[in-house]
């Protein structure tokens, strides 16, 4: 368990799209905390929280609350991530999804996947259900919107306009619901049990035009190297943050609880964090800070609700902590985020 990250290629693509649609590069980078140098290599890792901040700022600067949809529909995923290049080099759709699941963490590396695969396929009477099992659906619904917009744009191009039959989203219908239906081009249902697109079953068994066989071998060899490097980069701090995130609003965020969930003793956890030059209290404080900024920028919760979401039973204590973090009150910060 660790801090969620996303491939730098996605952040680069979103940045370029937003700049082309009226945003300023400097403002986007400053708001997200992403450095230009981090985007030079698409294989770099960007903290998911920074990508979320980039998306939120792009929505404001481009005056486009549906920018996640428009970015997804306009971008060629093969230009953003190695995983898409691999999928495009496969002999069949089924092989493409098998390898997408194998290397999915290179695109988005998160814990808590609802099952072994990021994108499982379940066959139903209505068709083949391609499910998005990734974490952070409630936290960041634009993640799925972007992915499904790419599916809705590219699958009909490759397999005909009836290849995509429906879209199911866990999130409630947004204010830009009509825009969603226009981009997807099929019926969209909200507040579903899972995020999924319904496909014609023939799509899953379809053959694909492929690059020479050696190309897939070269790409997967590189992907295996990157996957090993990603595994080696996991930190104790990241594992602690991942465990703490769903516990914040419960108030049960003790070091003993986290150590137990990590199957280690409190002294062992203390030593591991110390080796990374951080204390448990600092990890918790920084996580609360980051999540408070996220919830306020999301504009979906009041200051009082955000106080509860990040684990403060006393709103006054939350306000004091927030001013220590940022130098501003929560309400003042929220006003600046929408300015």
Q: What is the pLDDT of residue 2?
A: 63
Give just the sign of the alpha carbon dihedral 112, 29, 7, 211: positive
DSSP string across 177-227? HHHHHHHH-S-EE-S-SSEEEEE-HHHHT-B-----HHHHHHHHHHHHHHH
DSSP string across 275-306? HTT--HHHHHHHHHHHHHHHHHHHTSS-HHHH
- Partners of 121 in the β-ladder: 130
Instruction: Enumerate residues 6+ apart whose C-beta is below 8 A from 98.
Output: none
CB neighbour class for 244 (10 Å; exposed up to 12, middle 13-18, buried from 19): buried
Alpha-carbon span 250 to 316, nearest angstrom? 18
Instruction: Enumerate residues 6+ apart whose C-beta is below 8 A from 317.
Output: none
pTM (2 d.p.): 0.68
Q: What is the pLDDT of residue 110?
A: 82
Q: What is the pLDDT of residue 1?
A: 47
**Which phi-psi region, left, alpha or beta, contains residue 63 (left: φ > 0; alpha: ψ -120 to 50)?**
left
Q: Which two tokens stand for residue 53?
A: 């901040």
**Which phi-psi region, left, alpha or beta, contains residue 55 (left: φ > 0; alpha: ψ -120 to 50)?**
alpha
Q: Are 33 and 53 in contact (CB under 8 A)?
A: yes
pLDDT per residue, tens digit, the chain (339 aa), is: 467 889 999 999 999 999 999 999 999 999 999 988 889 888 889 988 899 999 999 999 999 999 999 999 998 776 788 998 998 888 899 999 999 999 999 999 887 676 678 899 999 999 999 999 886 555 688 999 999 999 999 999 989 989 999 999 998 999 999 999 999 999 999 999 999 999 999 999 899 877 787 889 999 999 999 987 787 567 788 778 878 877 888 888 999 999 998 899 999 999 999 998 999 999 999 889 888 887 787 666 788 888 988 999 899 999 999 999 988 898 888 777 655
Q: What is the pLDDT of residue 145?
A: 94
Q: What is the pLDDT of residue 198?
A: 98
């Amino acid at each position: 368990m660790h801090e969620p990250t996303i491939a730098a290629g996605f952040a680069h693509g979103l940045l370029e799209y937003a700049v082309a649609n009226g945003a300023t590069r400097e403002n986007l980078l400053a708001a997200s905390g992403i450095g230009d140098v981090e985007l030079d290599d698409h294989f770099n890792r960007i903290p998911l929280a920074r990508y979320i901040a980039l998306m939120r700022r792009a929505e404001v600067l481009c005056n486009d609350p549906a920018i996640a949809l428009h970015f997804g529909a306009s971008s060629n995923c093969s230009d953003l991530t190695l995983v898409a290049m691999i999928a495009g080099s496969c002999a069949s759709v089924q092989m493409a999804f098998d390898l997408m699941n194998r290397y999915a963490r290179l695109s988005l590396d998160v814990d808590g996947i609802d099952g072994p695969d990021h994108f499982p396929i379940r066959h139903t009477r209505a068709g083949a259900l391609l499910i998005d099992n990734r974490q952070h659906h409630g936290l960041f619904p634009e993640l799925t919107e972007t992915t499904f917009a790419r599916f809705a744009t590219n699958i009909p191009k490759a397999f005909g306009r009836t290849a995509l039959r429906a879209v199911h989203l866990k999130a409630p219908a947004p204010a830009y619901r009509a825009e969603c239906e226009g981009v997807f081009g099929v019926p969209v249902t909200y507040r579903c049990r899972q995020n999924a697109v319904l496909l014609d079953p023939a799509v899953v068994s379809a053959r694909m035009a492929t690059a020479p066989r050696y190309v897939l071998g070269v790409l997967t060899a590189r992907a295996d190297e990157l996957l090993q490097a990603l595994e080696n980069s996991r930190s104790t701090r990241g594992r602690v943050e991942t465990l703490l995130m769903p516990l914040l609003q419960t108030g049960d965020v003790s070091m003993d609880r986290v150590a137990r969930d990590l199957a280690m003793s409190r002294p062992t956890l203390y030593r591991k964090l110390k080796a990374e030059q951080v204390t448990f209290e600092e990890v918790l404080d920084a996580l609360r800070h980051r999540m408070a900024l996220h919830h306020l920028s999301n504009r979906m919760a009041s200051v009082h609700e955000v106080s509860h979401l990040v684990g403060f039973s006393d709103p006054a204590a939350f306000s004091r902590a927030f001013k220590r973090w940022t130098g501003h009150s929560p309400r003042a910060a929220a006003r600046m985020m929408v300015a």
